[in-house]
Amino acid sequence: KDVLLLNGPNLGMLGQREVGIYGTDTLFDIEKAVGEEVADRGWRVVARQHDSEGEMIGTLQGHYGAVGAVVNPGALMIAGWSLRDALANYPRPWIEVHLSNVWARESFRHESVLAPLANGVIAGLGPLGYRLAARALLSVAAD
C-alpha cells in the first residue's frame, strides 16, 4: 500500500529556502521521516513535489489507489482552485500540512481554500508536522 506525500511549489528547495522560516531539513529528510512513521504498517511512501498546479492535479488523479495523502500545497493553499477541485474528488483521506504557522505570518496566508476539504490540518510544527500527519493517516486510513 502506498501513502502519497505531495509537496507543492518551492518545497523542493527546503534546506535552502528561507531557512529562518522553513528550517534546514531537506524534502528528502522529510520523505524519509514519513516513511519511518508508516513502515510498521507495511506502507510505502510515494513522494512527489511539483512547482506547478497542473502537475499536482495529475499526481492526485494518478494515485486514487493510495491509502491516503499528506499534502503541503505551498502557496496553492491561497488560491489553488483547480487543485481544490482535484482534492474534492480525491477518494482517500488526506491531511494538509504547513511547516510554518501560517496564522503568525502575512494575512494572505491566513485562509486556505483547500483546508475545508482536508481530514485535518497541521501547521507550525516544522518537519514534525509531516510525521504527525502520517500518524493521523495510520488512524483514519483503511488498508
* Total site size for ligand DQA, rule CB under 6 A: 10
Q: What DSSP designation does 93 have?
A: -
CA 75 vs CA 49, 64, 72, 78, 82: distances in Å = 13, 23, 9, 6, 13
DSSP string across 1-51: -EEEEEE-TTGGGTTSS-HHHH-S--HHHHHHHHHHHHHTTT-EEEEEE-S
- 74 makes contact with ligand DQA (CB under 6 A): yes
- 7 makes contact with ligand DQA (CB under 6 A): no
Longest dimension (CA), the chain: 40
Among 50, 63, 90, 98, the active-site one is: 98
- 72 makes contact with ligand DQA (CB under 6 A): yes
Q: Looking at beta carbons only, is 49 or 72 nearer to ligand DQA?
A: 72
Residue 98 a catalytic site member? yes
- 88 makes contact with ligand DQA (CB under 6 A): no
Give which of 109, 54, 50, 99 is closest to 78, Cα–Cα.
109
Residue 63 a catalytic site member? no
Q: Is 85 labeled as ligand-binding?
A: yes
- 26 makes contact with ligand DQA (CB under 6 A): no
- 131 makes contact with ligand DQA (CB under 6 A): no
Which of 3, 5, 38, 102 contacts ligand DQA by CB under 6 A? 102
Give which of 76, 74, 50 is closest to 63, Cα–Cα.
50
Catalytic machinery residues: 22, 98
Binding site listing for substrate: 72, 85, 99-100, 109
